[in-house]
Structure 1
Amino acid sequence: MNYLQYFAHYPSSLQAQIKTLLEGDKLAAYFRGKYPHGHQCQSTQALYDYCHDYKNKYLKNVPRLHKVSYAKGRDLMTGTLGHHSQTRKQHGRKVKTRYEIALSQQLKYAPEAVLRALVVHELAHFKELDHNKAFYQLCCHMEPDYHQLELDLRLFIVLDRLGANFYHSGAQQ
């Protein structure tokens, strides 16, 4: 499979570096050096608390999150890493809105920085629906290193697809 398709919008110099990582089987070494340990948000409650803390710190005007979970139906390779939803239900004269986030089950075994990039991304959608300039500015406000982490998230997708994901429980060093 041509994994370079996930990096098509990056500059050619960066694509060349990525190609070198992939062809030289250096991707796992890159992650071991940069992110030696996976995150600790293994349970749904821990993931909820993690997302809730970010929401409270940066998006105080967004009502509380109702649900945050790892979703088995999400696949890193089909382009759906996470999903946010705002559902509105009318109960008489009141309209209730539920805010939910579902992340790919595969992110359960990822470095914390990669998880953080996707959480920031999904939370930003509650303020900015489209991937526009304001959206990315909000992402960078919540996580100043957002663009690097987004690149590392894409690299993690490839690492996982290659079967080289060493973050699984018991496999961490």
Structure 2
Amino acid sequence: MENQLQYLNGYQPEIREQVSSLLESGKLKTVLLNRHPHIHDIRTDKALYDYTIAIKNRYLRKSQPLSKIQYDDKISLSHQALGLHSFVSRAQGRKTKAKNEIRISSRLKRIPESLLRMVVVHELAHLKEKDHNKAFYQLCCHMEGDYHQLEFDLRLLLTLVEHDQNPYG
């Protein structure tokens, strides 16, 4: 069961056993589809930019600006990275230019909007909190009240993808 549920390593054994049972019986796919029946239509980098900026402007208006938001084909789901927030600082003459960028795995183009939102919220939270600490998760929950459930659901989806049972692809 350990390798079978790598995306759920931090969860209690009872939860892992329940998920394992649902996976083996073929019912995990149905559970996820019942919670999140439809995929989003945010397919382009422009649409992702507009979507992310709308969330940022609602909750983090005074935070640092974002210079780039895009889908990235190079982000692999196998390393549990779904998105990346990077702070790039470059010296140009006497000036230092800093840019914040968010990149989201292209493999997340075909998932429910609520799960994409969770990843976007996670990456936006890094504008204020660099580490995954209590303040970071409080900020995530402020922007998305159901953050922890959505993170769990995304982990269920990743488990299904790993077992060739993607309900959305």
TM-score of the superposition, structure 2-length normalised? Answer: 0.91
Identity %: 48
Listed as ranges, the matches of 1:24-173 within 5 Å are 24-168=25-169
Tell me how large the CA RMSD over aligned residues is. 1.6
Cα distance in structure 2, aligned partners of 1:119 and 1:78: 18
Aligned positions, number: 168
Cα distance in structure 2, aligned partners of 1:126 and 1:18: 33
Instruction: State the 1:92 CA deviation.
Output: 4.3
More displaced 10-residue stretch of structure 1: 4-13 or 150-159? 4-13
Cα distance in structure 2, aligned partners of 1:33 and 1:47: 25
Instruction: State the 1:23 CA deviation.
Output: 1.2
What is the DSSP-based 3-state SS (H/G/I as helix, E as strand, rest coil) of the residue aligned with 2:5? helix
More displaced 10-residue stretch of structure 1: 77-86 or 156-165? 156-165
Cα distance in structure 1, aligned partners of 2:135 and 2:39: 30
For residues 15-66 of structure 1, the C-alpha deviation after alignment (integer angstroms, 9 at most, x for no partner) is 2221122111112211221111101111111111111111111111223221
TM-score of the superposition, structure 1-length normalised? Answer: 0.89
Q: Which amino acid aligns with 2:125?
A: A
Q: Which amino acid aligns with 2:158?
A: I
For residues 72-111 of structure 1, the C-alpha deviation after alignment (integer angstroms, 9 at most, x for no partner) is 1111112221111111223445432211111111101111
Cα distance in structure 2, aligned partners of 1:162 and 1:41: 25
Instruction: State the 1:153 CA deviation.
Output: 1.1
Q: Which runs of 4+ in 1 moved over 4 A?
A: none
